[in-house]
Amino acid sequence: MSQFEKDAMLGKQEMVAQECVVCRTGVKYSLIRVEDGKIITGKSIRWVKWKENGRAEKLFRRPQVGFSCIVDSEYGASYTWLTTQVQSFERVSVNELRFKTKNSTYILNKIKVKPSKLDYDDEPFQD
């Protein structure tokens, strides 16, 4: 039994809520910063359009020059990672995008995963 399944059975709903995006879509993302190899993984990717005053204006699903990449922004103001503004990008394949920001170069990968299923017919508390 996985840790996710154990946590779900113990009523840790936060864990269930976080995992449901990947379970529902079967997709997760990895963002690799080329300069140092740092890998950021997440359940969702959005692109932030900025106002002239430096505040976020709106989130988009598709990248554009001048937008920033934000990882896991689905829970309001919190997020896992935010890049500086994109200066250029190149689509390598359907599942890979390379882009340069003011500070770094990134590779964004869309990873298809098999959605997990809880088997409620199992009896985990048997001896």
**11-57 pLDDT per residue, tens:** 554 444 444 555 656 778 899 999 999 999 888 899 999 999 999 99
Instruction: State residue 111's pLDDT score.
Output: 87
Tell whether the model's pLDDT for residue 4 goes beyond 80.
Answer: no
Q: State the virtual CA torsion across 106, 23, 73, 4 in degrees, nearest 10.
A: -100
pLDDT tens-digit series, residues 80-107: 899 999 999 998 888 999 999 999 999 9
Percent over 70 (pLDDT), the chain: 65
